[in-house]
Structure 1
Amino acid sequence: MAETHSITIMLLIFSGKLFMADSKGFFPEANVTCIIHDDCILPCSFRPTGTVVIHWYKQQIPVHSYYYNKDQFGLQNKHFSGRTYLFNSHIPHGNASLLLRRVKVQDKGRYKCYTSTRKGNQEIFVNLEVKALIQSVIMEMSDEMVTCSSQNVYPVPQVTWATDPPSAQDALENATIKITDHKGLFTVESTLRILSNHSNYTFFCSFISADKTQVWTVSRKNQESITQEEGHALSIPCIAPQSLQNFSLSWTFTSSSEFTVILRYDSRTRHTFILWEGQAELDQDLLLLGDGSLLLHKPDSEEHSGTYTCTLSGLQSRHIVLTKVNITVASISVDEQSVQRSWWSTAASAAFVLFTIMLALPQCVRQRGTAMEASHRYNGAGLVHKDQNTTALYINRQHGVECNTLQLQFEAQDELSGSVPKTAEDCTVDVPAGTKIEEEEKTVGPPVEGNDGLQSSSLDKDGFGNIEPRLHIP
């Protein structure tokens, strides 16, 4: 319905122009430009006076005929078969315009509208121009050259090149080729060689339509590679070379031939799609200024190393920034290495002490059991001990070296167990089997006078007046 309404408005406009020309006594030729693959109206009007005959020709080729109040297709050329229509309901009002559907390149040319009534004949000429709009421009870039191309365009557009920073014209010499398909549409490809000192430049390629109504501009920059240590925030720059009103932004990631769209943004809806939620984000304030830089919070060496492509698309414009990013494994600082060495040293020491305790503990248990067994055995044999503490003290003195060694071992693991022998009684003495512990008593005889004039007892004493037992080991 909307299409029919627009066609009716166009007919009224064209009819009005033609009637104005007729009132002045001359009929200028009409110039019409139609979009290929779209429908197009070739205007023609006359003064209705009863029955009318209408013939449309392209040069001498019959396009469409109308007489006896109906369409006649007997003489119609095959090229126009099924594609031409008159507005029959408007013919009585003087409208003989032709609707040409699905315009082709071959439809281009000069058409004649012939009308005949009882008051005479009339001829109106219409020059039809056709064009295929530039739909897109694709830019590809390598280390040695950059190529711009566009497909299905008509007529051939003009191609221009520029760089940022600016370059001399002799550095922008390019080769442009055009290829025509079976429909008459062109594929245009222009190639520019990159000079060695221009590898980091921004390259601009513009396709300008023949009627100057369209100017498509694509720019691309291969930025220097970025190397960053994993775990540290990283900003990948992407700034539009010119201000954009309504634009869309996309970030893609390529690694090991895998292509991933990680982010999309539309300035008209302010809607943002982020696949890497929590890992990547944009600065919303800078976006409105044309800065679409991507912020990676904690990049990982395996997941985030690859090629990042930023694409800013506006009305008949596109800006592409390609950046290779290498995320390296985090290095260990000197302080961290010292801490790690200290930790391992402490752990090794603790393990050694624990191992020593594990070896000594069974021996201590056996020693305690043997000492208790010896004590019970000698007590059971009927030996009389005047002072059992004296006997234990003698045994402890005989084995003091071994007890001290064990005590040092227990002190070494003080931090682990919290138990350290406090006295000699905490140590267990290993008394070999068959050892006799006896306390000799000698008959007290008359005092013997020594050299110093003092009397000496025949009993052995320990220096404190206590009788010291003797230990006999067979």
Structure 2
Amino acid sequence: MLWLLLCFADALVVASFEVIVPDKHLLAIRGGSAVLGCEFTPDPDLSNLVVTWQRSEDSQVVHSFYYQQDQLKKQSPEFHNRTSLFISELHKGNASLRIAEVSPKDAGLYLCIVSNAKGTGKALMTVIYGALYSEPRLSIHVNSTTVTVQFETEGFPKPEVIWLDEHGQNLNYHLELHDQTEDGLYLVKSSYEAQKPTVNVTFTLKNHLLNQNLQRPVFLSYDKDTTANQGTIALVLSVVCFFLVIAIIWFVRRRNKQKPSAVNHVN
């Protein structure tokens, strides 16, 4: 009977210890810091506390704490000088991990494993990576009959791209999507080819993960008469410059011919 009571008491102790992650899914933004929350049943005595964070996919050690201090000898090189615990909060049951300078490689599954005198437990969470798209860079290419308007930007994940006309109707467009940047970002190049003489379109890019919505209107108008006049002015200026160069050359040569006679007159 006493043995059963002891077993029941041990079971209560084990059941009273738990490890939880408040957020099962955490959104980490490029270049910033991410705090992976983890809570456990605290014990004022930290001498028996062991906290280990590791990647679930490959068991890489992200951060370790035992003997009342950080233990980073087995830490994966990818996380060197980028991780820290909230040491002053450990006695309260806070085993949250801070990861600085978030990059695409930080996305994935993480295990928070904690043990102390009250028990051992673990909890799993997912880190999702995102990057805001940069300010779209505009370029315009003009030929005899059409105008091509292009926007270029980088971000993550894959965006939704829309081109609209002045009436809000969808337009057919060209889209190039590359994921070969050094930061693991998608490079987006999207263009629309319009007929002259007027271009009135709006480029829209949506990053649904980060609730980012970029809209950039483009309005261009071409006047055929103005274009012709500009061509005539350019031709006239070219002719004037040509005769000006001829006049300068003639003046220099005449001056050089006059120099010897001036010297002889002095002698």
Q: What is the TM-score with the length of structure 2 in the denominator? A: 0.69
Query: Equivalent of 2:36, from 17, 32, 42?
Result: 42
Q: Take 1:34 and 1:101, find their aligned partners in 2: how far apart are those partners?
A: 10
Query: Equivalent of 2:164, from 149, 162, 165?
Result: 162
In the TM superposition, residue 179 of structure 1 has moved relative to its aligned partner by: 3.6
Q: Does structure 1 residue 55 correspond to structure 2 residue 33?
A: no
Question: 1:267-346, aligned counterparts within 5 Å?
Answer: none
Checking the alignment, whether the CA contact within 8 Å between 1:139 and 1:220 is kept in structure 2 is: no
Checking the alignment, whether the CA contact within 8 Å between 2:20 and 2:123 is kept in structure 1 is: no
Q: 1:212 to 1:85 in 2, by over 3 A?
A: closer
Q: Take 2:63 and 2:168, find their aligned partners in 1: how far apart are those partners?
A: 56
Checking the alignment, whether the CA contact within 8 Å between 1:140 and 1:147 is kept in structure 2 is: yes
Q: Which has the higher contact order (CA 8 A, sep 6+)?
A: 2
Q: 1:134 to 1:175 in 2, by over 3 A?
A: closer
In the TM superposition, residue 138 of structure 1 has moved relative to its aligned partner by: 2.1
Q: Take 1:26 and 1:72, find their aligned partners in 2: how far apart are those partners?
A: 22
Query: Which residue identity lines up with residue 198 of structure 2 in the other structure?
Result: N
Q: Take 1:116 and 1:209, find their aligned partners in 2: how far apart are those partners?
A: 40
Query: Which residue identity lines up with residue 55 of structure 1 in the other structure?
Result: T
Checking the alignment, whether the CA contact within 8 Å between 1:34 and 1:130 is kept in structure 2 is: yes
In the TM superposition, residue 134 of structure 1 has moved relative to its aligned partner by: 1.8
Q: Counterpart of 1:190 in 2: which secondary structure?
A: strand
Q: Deviations over 1:119-138 (max 9, x none)?
A: 11121222111111123112
Q: Take 1:137 and 1:166, find their aligned partners in 2: how far apart are those partners?
A: 20
Checking the alignment, whether the CA contact within 8 Å between 1:175 and 1:192 is kept in structure 2 is: no
Q: Take 1:92 and 1:117, find their aligned partners in 2: how far apart are those partners?
A: 11
Query: Which residue identity lines up with residue 44 of structure 1 in the other structure?
Result: C
Query: Which residue identity lines up with residue 133 of structure 2 in the other structure?
Result: I
Q: Counterpart of 1:211 in 2: which secondary structure?
A: helix
Q: Take 1:71 and 1:53, find their aligned partners in 2: how far apart are those partners?
A: 10
Checking the alignment, whether the CA contact within 8 Å between 1:156 and 1:210 is kept in structure 2 is: no
Counterpart in 2 of 1:68? 67
Which structure has the larger Rg? 1
Q: Take 1:69 and 1:185, find their aligned partners in 2: how far apart are those partners?
A: 39
Q: Take 1:75 and 1:97, find their aligned partners in 2: how far apart are those partners?
A: 19
Counterpart in 2 of 1:150? 153
Query: Which residue identity lines up with residue 176 of structure 1 in the other structure?
Result: E
Counterpart in 2 of 1:129? 128
Query: Which residue identity lines up with residue 159 of structure 1 in the other structure?
Result: V
In the TM superposition, residue 226 of structure 1 has moved relative to its aligned partner by: 9.6
Q: 1:46 to 1:160 in 2, by over 3 A?
A: same
Higher mean C-alpha displacement, 156-165 vs 79-88:
156-165
Q: Take 2:20 and 2:84, find their aligned partners in 1: how far apart are those partners?
A: 27
Counterpart in 1 of 2:102? 103
Q: 1:131 to 1:54 in 2, by over 3 A?
A: same
Q: Counterpart of 2:88 in 1: which secondary structure?
A: helix
Counterpart in 2 of 1:357? none
Checking the alignment, whether the CA contact within 8 Å between 2:60 and 2:76 is kept in structure 1 is: yes
Checking the alignment, whether the CA contact within 8 Å between 1:139 and 1:148 is kept in structure 2 is: yes
Q: Counterpart of 1:191 in 2: which secondary structure?
A: strand
Q: Take 1:166 and 1:53, find their aligned partners in 2: how far apart are those partners?
A: 59
Counterpart in 2 of 1:192? 192
Q: Deviations over 1:362-397 (max 9, x none)?
A: xxxxxxxxxxxxxxxxxxxxxxxxxxxxxxxxxxxx
Query: Which residue identity lines up with residue 221 of structure 1 in the other structure?
Result: F
Q: Take 2:87 and 2:101, find their aligned partners in 1: how far apart are those partners?
A: 20
Structure 1 alignment gaps of length 5 or more: 1-21, 229-304, 307-325, 327-474
Q: 1:163 to 1:43 in 2, by over 3 A?
A: same
Report sequence identity in percent.
23
In the TM superposition, residue 29 of structure 1 has moved relative to its aligned partner by: 5.7
Counterpart in 2 of 1:89? 88
In the TM superposition, residue 191 of structure 1 has moved relative to its aligned partner by: 1.8
- Which structure shows the higher strand fraction? 2
Query: Which residue identity lines up with residue 50 of structure 2 in the other structure?
Result: V
Q: Take 1:93 and 1:25, find their aligned partners in 2: how far apart are those partners?
A: 13
Structure 2 alignment gaps of length 5 or more: 1-15, 234-267
Q: Take 2:224 and 2:149, find their aligned partners in 1: how far apart are those partners?
A: 22
Q: 1:85 to 1:46 in 2, by over 3 A?
A: same
Which structure 1 residue ranges, 4+ long, deviate > 4 Å from structure 2? Answer: 22-29
Checking the alignment, whether the CA contact within 8 Å between 2:38 and 2:95 is kept in structure 1 is: yes
Q: Say how many residue pairs are matched.
A: 205
Q: Take 2:99 and 2:177, find their aligned partners in 1: how far apart are those partners?
A: 32
Q: What is the TM-score with the length of structure 1 in the denominator? A: 0.40
In the TM superposition, residue 139 of structure 1 has moved relative to its aligned partner by: 2.5
